[in-house]
């Protein structure tokens, strides 16, 4: 299936050459910017070009954001929520075009492209309700005729550094909540997927112009790691929310921490599903296969490891091999296709190197990998999802490879399986497949999974916006999206009001003049 991308680009306001930065109403360029060509991993064709932001662009954008914050923070939160509501409606109107562009630029399946836009719509709906629920607490004072309470105020500028695999959804998780909280946003998308970011900025710009939103509330900076480094080191940035590799997150954390700034980190995952002897093997198969091959294994929540009870190991392994033999690999815009391409040649290289490392450590591949060639695979980014029998302590198994490589391992007792599940540096998502209530509860207990996400009878991949999303250990500890994740975008203030005619001190301290 081929797609005529030009009409979609035109409707989304994407030009042949796109500017380096936007402050929400105007696109800016210093005129000395490097040109970056954007290619689709689907067919290898160039989609468009973008200019990279210069340091002048960066400084202009941050100054606009600073000025916008002075005004935006004074808007009542429900009024800010109304703007986000209209953004959700605009995304609904553009869902088909934007979903196709996500699929074509990033390489994920068309259904996943549509799903990513739906996730943006859902978080806008969530944020609208949240705009009337930014609650604080009241506390009883130990001093007579005193009242204590806490309230939440906006932080300022929120810097959003997003990754290629979810080129728009993760931005919306941050931006929708930050905006209703009264913050302004500066977004640096992945240079591998900048066009979807341009499209989103064009969509939000129309909403802002119709509502006289101050220029600078939502800004876009396109560039390489230089822009991310400027953001991380800039004391004008109240919060840096960064999604990407653990290596990148450590660099961001060090830079932001050195200036005592705030960071929200969503980093690597090395996610496992435990397949119990009491599992429903048919539903387990669906969860495992989608978790391993969805988005060609390029999700932070992708299933990397299957920890299978020894009594069902061979049976489940055979089911997996058969299922992998039925996978259709090709153009992700064809809805019959299960697996699309990796993002680029660097990802293919990493995939091949990981296979060789696994073999060198003793891994036994029951489904072989490789790069696909020939008609339909001209981009060179299509690879075969593969399965290897391996040990949890293998160095390559301890490492997150952003590709469809699945490792199988056996266990005999649940405590052993949980220890294996927890025995990696990352701690994002986890799951157990079991119909045994005791096993399920043990997995979810304090002695069970050490991940930020722990599921029973569903896979590791595919989170809903209602719950806070994030993980522990080298995953970074951040939380985005639902629950009370909104608090990271605000600063807490404790207030005490004395309405007496005396000044008693806390803890009964006496200080008389």
Residue 374, phi-psi category: left (phi > 0), alpha (psi -120 to 50), beta (remainder):
left
Q: Which member of 185, 200, 219, 300 is catalytic? A: 300
Q: Smallest Cα–Cα separation from 112: which of 241, 283, 290, 284?
A: 290
Of residues 108, 209, 119, the one with CA closest to residue 165: 108
| Strands of 35-39's sheet in order across | 17-18, 46-51, 35-39
Closest CA to 429 of 462, 405, 402: 462
Say what the alpha-carbon torsion angle 345, 347, 353, 358 is, to the nearest 10 degrees: -150
> Catalytic pick from 215, 266, 400, 480?
266
CB 469 within 8 A of CB 481: yes
- Give the Cα-Cα-Cα angle 61, 66, 71 (nearest 5 degrees): 125
Extended strands (E) in 6-108: 17-18, 21-22, 27-28, 35-39, 46-51
The number of angstroms, rounded, from the C-alpha of 473 to the middle of its chain's C-alpha atoms is 17
- H runs (alpha helix) in 190-245: 194-211, 225-233
Look up 300 and say whether it is catalytic: yes
Helix/strand/coil (H, E, C) string of 365-398?
A: EEECCCECCCCCCCCCCCECCEEEECCCCCHHHH
Q: What is the DSSP code (8-state) at residue 488?
A: G
Q: Would you please indicate which residues are annotated as catalytic (active-site) residues?
A: 266, 300
């Amino acid at each position: 299936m081929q797609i005529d991308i030009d009409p979609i680009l035109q409707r989304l306001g994407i030009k042949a050459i796109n500017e380096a930065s936007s402050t929400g109403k105007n696109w800016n360029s210093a005129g000395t910017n490097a040109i970056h060509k954007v290619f689709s991993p689907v067919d290898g064709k160039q989609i468009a070009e973008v200019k990279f932001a210069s340091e002048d662009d960066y400084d202009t954008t941050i100054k606009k954001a600073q000025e916008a914050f002075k005004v935006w923070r004074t808007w009542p939160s429900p009024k800010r929520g109304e703007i986000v509501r209209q953004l959700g409606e605009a995304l609904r109107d553009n869902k088909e075009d934007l979903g196709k562009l996500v699929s074509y630029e990033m390489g994920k399946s068309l259904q996943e492209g549509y799903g990513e836009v739906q996730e943006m719509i859902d978080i806008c709906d969530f944020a609208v309700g949240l705009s009337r629920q930014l609650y604080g607490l009241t506390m009883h004072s130990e001093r007579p005729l005193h009242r204590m309470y806490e309230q939440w105020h906006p932080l300022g500028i929120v810097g959003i550094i997003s990754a290629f695999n979810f080129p728009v959804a993760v931005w919306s998780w941050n931006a929708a909540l930050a905006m209703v909280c009264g913050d302004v946003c500066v977004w640096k998308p992945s240079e591998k997927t900048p066009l979807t970011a341009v499209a989103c900025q064009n969509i939000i710009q129309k909403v802002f112009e119709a509502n006289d939103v101050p220029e600078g509330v939502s800004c876009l900076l396109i560039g390489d790691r230089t822009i991310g480094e400027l953001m991380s080191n800039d004391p004008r940035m109240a919060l840096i929310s960064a999604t990407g590799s653990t290596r990148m997150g450590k660099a961001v954390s060090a830079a932001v921490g050195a200036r005592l700034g705030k960071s929200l980190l969503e980093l690597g995952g090395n996610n496992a599903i435990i397949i119990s002897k009491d599992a429903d093997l048919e539903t387990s198969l669906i969860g495992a296969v989608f978790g391993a091959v969805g988005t060609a294994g390029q999700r932070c929540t992708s299933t990397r490891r299957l920890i299978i009870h020894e009594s069902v190991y061979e049976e489940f392994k055979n089911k997996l091999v058969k299922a992998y033999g039925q996978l259709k690999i090709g153009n992700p815009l064809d809805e019959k296709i299960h697996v699309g391409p990796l993002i680029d040649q660097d990802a293919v290289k990493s995939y091949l190197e990981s296979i060789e490392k696994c073999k060198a450590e003793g891994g036994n591949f029951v489904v072989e990998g490789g790069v696909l060639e020939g008609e339909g695979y001209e981009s060179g980014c299509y690879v075969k999802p593969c399965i290897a029998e391996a040990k949890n302590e293998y160095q390559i198994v301890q490492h997150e490879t952003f590709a469809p490589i699945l490792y199988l391992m056996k266990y005999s007792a649940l405590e052993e399986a949980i220890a294996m599940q927890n025995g990696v540096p990352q701690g994002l998502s986890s799951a157990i497949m079991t119909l045994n209530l005791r096993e399920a509860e043990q997995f979810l207990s304090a002695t069970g999974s050490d991940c930020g996400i722990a599921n029973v009878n569903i896979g590791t991949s595919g989170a809903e916006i209602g719950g806070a999303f994030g993980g522990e250990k080298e995953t970074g500890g951040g939380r985005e999206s639902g629950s009370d994740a909104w608090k990271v975008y605000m600063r807490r203030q404790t207030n005490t009001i004395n309405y007496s005619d005396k000044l008693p001190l806390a803890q009964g301290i006496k200080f008389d003049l």
